[in-house]
Structure 1
Amino acid sequence: MQTIDIEDFNKIELRVGTVIQAEVFEKARKPAYKIWIDLGPELGVKKSSAQVTDLYTPSDLLGRQVICVCNFRPRQIADFMSEVLVTGFSSLEGGIVLASSERTVPNGAKLH
């Protein structure tokens, strides 16, 4: 495993936001959802394509707080611009378990 220092870690904008809209991403090559995330007043609402269909339905995602990498370059996926990366962990069964906060925190709060 490569090590990094605190300056490297501080370059990553990990922030929490609330999913306000989710729908099936019909044009994605692999099963995915289009997700809109409220990242607070500073960042606003950002979009993400997320391959989390094994464990979640669009209605499961609504209102859920998720941790996002907010300073990746936007990425065009089919006809959708993904602006942030929603983070998660691989489960034993192979699906992605979304990373979130233990308690509700303000949208846009930064992970330290």
Structure 2
Amino acid sequence: MDEAAAQVEGMLGVLALRLVEGGVRRLIVAGGETSGAVTTALGIRAVLVGEEADPGVPWTYTTTQPRDLARFAHIAGLDAISHLVCDKAPQGDLADVLAAAGLRVVVTGPE
């Protein structure tokens, strides 16, 4: 990865951290490397995998903040983001999510 890309991803990770510190509870992150940078910056080591936000892209739930996190290798513009946020985002408390069938723990970071 070139230095400029690494710096941008680092800044996006810091931005995500500041948003969460400010009370944001749901993040949608596009870009494989960006998703990794945000996950690392937030200290997320494991997630619960829920229903699909989009084909092949599940909503994931953390036991820390942000509660809801959708990570995309790519995303097709603002219309797709709006659709996910307004129409497909899961509702309810984390307890409701945990009670739903089919959730599993996935380790995402180093041990």
TM class by shorter-chain length?
Answer: 0.3 to 0.5
TM-score (norm 2): 0.33
Whose helix fraction is larger, Structure 1's or Structure 2's?
A: 2
The normalised TM-score by structure 1 is 0.32
